[in-house]
A and B are shown apart, each in its own frame.
Chain A
Amino acid sequence: MGKRVGMEVSIAASEAVKLANTDVVAAYPITPQTHIVEHLSEFVNNGELDAEFVPVESEHSAMSVCLGSSAAGARTFTCTSSQGLILMSEIVYIAATMRLPIVMILANRSVSGPLSIWNDHTDVMAIRDCGWIQVFANNGQEVFDHVLWAFRVGEDRRVIHPVIVNLDGFILTHVIEPIELLDQETVDRFLPPYEPLHRLHPDKPVTMGCFAMPNLYTETKKAQDEALKATMPTILEGWKEFGDLTGRHYHPIEEYRTEDADLLIVAMGSLGETACVAADSMRAQGKSVGVLEIRLWRPFPFDLFRQAVRKAGTLVVMDRATSYGGPGGPVSSEIRAALYGTDHQPKVVNFIVGLAGRDVSPEDFETMVDLTLSGKAKTRQEDYQIYGVRE
């Protein structure tokens, strides 16, 4: 087992890509993802990582290179943020349809305009339906672990899907945290070499990325939807194996002090840890508060989510993105959809918080819970509130 060291989360992420023995990295630097790409470029340059580093001229090219290299059978990694993701999004969808198990770190950042380099989840929500497996990390250790997990699960013959590992820009990427790295031997035990089902090779020619007429396109979408839903057992198996190997256990929905909690705060990404601090404080004040952290965003773990909220009377749901003119933030819409028509109907209160890096403190969580408990928060289906906005 590796030792615990103080390290910037971006460096830890690039260490994980190196330990995964990645063959190709194609990426374009963009704040706040830059340190990850810079460190990978150094690893390749000084011979620590035997990979092709392709310094592309845009993110659109980055994902295009990733498609080609993954199709040729190479273990492929890229990394982006915000505008970069939007520029590459055309190709992001194609990677999922072609079932190329590329791993991408997304350092979550708000999408312009106004121009902003700071953290929220508007970038990933713009490509929510792209067909990739999507997970959120709460801290640096989880980022390191999930890069390895993403290759292991994505490349598994029962899965064969690209995977996005989301981490909050700056809040995680630029923070130094104690992180336990794994040694090469342990990583190799967890992550076998990539053996593609199909690859572009002259010995066995295949056609990839062909077009579909209306009489076949519907069947391709059905196949894609079923394939993504069918990844769940292998996703769980990947976490189980990782936990057995490292002692760090992960789940699609993480629960904190949820036993007998009347009210659950629901959050994704780094907000989860702050919410846990707030829950400790509120429990000490005698309030019955717990936290649910949604780790697996796609495929969404509907059954596990319903199971996790079966005793709760109220859900206070955090969203770091808006859906203008829509039913609230994307996480709350998902949750309301998950609960619709079920026997147990907790009250759902939606707060849009932390846009473009605005701090969300434990005290803010307490305020939001107090607003909810005192009946001052909006709860109707289409109602939501942007927390902390100056009126």
Chain B
Amino acid sequence: MAKPEHEMTWHDLDVGFVVTEPGNARCYRTGDWKSMKPVLNRERCVHCGLCYIYCPDMSYSMDSEGFFIVDLNYCKGCGICAEECPTKAITMVPEEEE
């Protein structure tokens, strides 16, 4: 995207508000919607990948050690990963807590 959304004027919009740049939804960081965030306990994680599969925002990706890590720029805090985790390795904590 040429400019962040909040800086675009009406002149910057294409005819019919067509988006010509594929995949630019990535620029739209929906992570600031959440009030709760998932925290992973690596001791309990069995690398099953269910959090990765169930995440409706595709916020999880696997790191080099085989853990599935959430990208908080896109996580909306829905808690599905914590609910589905078979070993209860994921807990939802308030956004402001470390």
Contact = CB atoms under 8 A, between A and B. Distances in A.
Contacts of A98: 16-17
A215 B18 contact: no
Interface string B1-37: 0000110111111111111101000000000000000
B17 A100 contact: no
A198 B22 contact: no
A206 B17 contact: no
A160 B17 CA distance: 12
Given A198-B20, A205-B22, A213-B5, A219 B15 contact: no
Nearest to B11: A223
Given A205-B22, A223-B10, A99 B16 contact: yes
Interface string A85-119: 00000000000011110000000000000000000
A82 B6 CA distance: 40
B22 A223 contact: no
Contacts of B8: 216, 219
A367 interface: no
A218 B30 CA distance: 20
A197 interface: yes
Interface residues of A, number: 22
Given A100-B16, A198-B18, A208-B18, A226 B5 contact: no
Given A216-B8, A219-B9, A223-B10, A210 B20 contact: no
Interface string A242-253: 000000000000
B19 A210 contact: yes
A374 interface: no
Contacts of B9: 219
A220 to B, nearest CB: 6
Interface string A268-293: 00000000000000000000000000
Given A160-B15, A206-B19, A215 B10 contact: no
Interface in B15-68: 15-20, 22
Interface in A15-32: none
A215 B5 contact: yes
A230 to B, nearest CB: 12
B23 to A, nearest CB: 10
The listed residue with most A CB atoms (<10 A of its CB), out of B6, B10, B13, B16, is B16
Contacts of B6: 215
Nearest to A198: B18
B10 A222 contact: yes
B5 A197 contact: no
Interface string A194-229: 000110000001111010110110011011001100
B10 A220 contact: yes
A339 to B, nearest CB: 29
A198 B15 contact: yes
The listed residue with most A CB atoms (<10 A of its CB), out of B5, B12, B15, B20, is B15
Contact of B10 (A205, A213, A219): A219
Contacts of A206: 18-20
Contacts of A226: 10
The listed residue with most A CB atoms (<10 A of its CB), out of B8, B13, B15, B17, is B17
B17 A198 contact: no
Interface in A128-154: none
A8 B9 CA distance: 49
A216 B5 contact: yes
30 contacts: A97-B17, A99-B15, A99-B16, A100-B16, A160-B15, A197-B15, A198-B16, A198-B20, A205-B22, A206-B19, A206-B20, A207-B18, A207-B22, A208-B16, A208-B18, A210-B17, A213-B5, A215-B5, A216-B8, A219-B8, A219-B12, A220-B13, A220-B17, A222-B10, A223-B10, A223-B11, A223-B13, A223-B17, A226-B10, A227-B15
Please provide the 5 A-B residue pairs with the shortest distance between their CB atoms, ordered closest to farther. A99-B16, A207-B19, A222-B10, A219-B10, A223-B10
Interface of A: 97-100, 160, 197-198, 205-208, 210, 212-213, 215-216, 219-220, 222-223, 226-227
